[in-house]
């Protein structure tokens, strides 16, 4: 596959490869992605509505955005390191792949891996692991994602197309067929 040269630009300030990506706001309050720092690989994906996530529940968090990626590219939806480090919220399909041909809304699939506390009330946790009061009764191990919270990051990646060839034998390597755990855990 040949990638259209006009779609690729070299940024004159830092010589990074730039892909022209079209996007459509599906919600008036959707946040247009931006890179926080010049050398960041990812940009934030922001929740466009409030979402409650009960313990053990997996939900789709809408971003209000649809993308038209150039042929030969994908959008990867990845966890934000702060959420992964501070909470029990996980992206179960990380990285999620948005294909170049997809034109629907990009949502973030998020799972609350906490065990239910059994304590029901109006207090749960936000994405910063701080207590927050909500309008409905919930298990205290629920999470409340507020509209405007940065819930994931997007990374644009080049996707080569494989040309598969069936062979009788594979080339020998030092590793061979050594799989899971074959290299050990000690340095």
> 141-186, pLDDT tens digit by residue?
999 999 999 999 999 999 999 999 999 999 998 888 877 777 777 7
- Domain of residue 113 covers 21-158
Domain count, the chain: 1
Residue 168 counted as domain residue = no
Give the phi and the psi of residue 81 in degrees, each rounded to 5: -60, -35
pLDDT of residue 185: 74
92: exposed, middle or buried (Cβ count in 10 Å: 0-12, 13-18, 19+): exposed
Ramachandran bin of 90, using left for φ above 0, alpha for ψ from -120 to 50, beta for the remaining angles: beta
Task: Tell me, yes or no, whether 177 lies in a domain.
Answer: no
Whether 104 is covered by a domain: the verdict is yes
Asked if residue 121 is part of any domain, the answer here is yes
What percent of the chain clears pLDDT 70, i.e. is strictly above it?
A: 92
Asked whether residue 12 is assigned to any structural domain, the reply reads no
pLDDT recorded at residue 14: 58
Which residues neighbour 40 within 8 Å (Cβ) at sequence distance 6 or greater?
A: none
Residue 5 lies in a domain: no
Please report whether residue 94 resides in a domain.
yes
CATH of the domain at 135: 2.70.40.10
Residue 13 clears pLDDT 70, i.e. is over it: no
- Is residue 34 assigned to a domain? yes
């Amino acid at each position: 596959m040949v990638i259209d040269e006009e779609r690729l630009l070299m940024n004159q300030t830092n010589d990074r490869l730039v892909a022209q990506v079209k996007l459509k706001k599906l919600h008036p309050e959707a946040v247009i992605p931006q890179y926080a720092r010049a050398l960041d690989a990812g940009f934030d994906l922001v929740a466009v509505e409030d979402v409650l996530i009960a313990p053990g529940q997996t939900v789709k968090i809408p971003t209000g955005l649809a993308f038209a990626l150039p042929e030969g590219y994908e959008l990867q939806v990845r966890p934000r390191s702060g959420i992964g480090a501070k909470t029990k919220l996980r992206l179960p399909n990380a990285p999620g792949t948005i294909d170049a041909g997809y034109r629907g809304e990009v949502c973030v699939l998020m799972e609350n891996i906490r065990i239910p506390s059994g304590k029901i009330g109006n207090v749960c946790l936000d994405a910063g692991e701080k207590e927050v009061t909500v309008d409905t009764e919930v298990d205290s191990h629920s999470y409340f994602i507020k509209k405007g919270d940065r819930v994931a990051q997007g990374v644009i990646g080049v996707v080569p197309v494989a040309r598969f060839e069936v062979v009788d034998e594979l080339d020998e390597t030092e590793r061979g067929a050594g799989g899971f755990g074959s290299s050990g855990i000690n340095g």
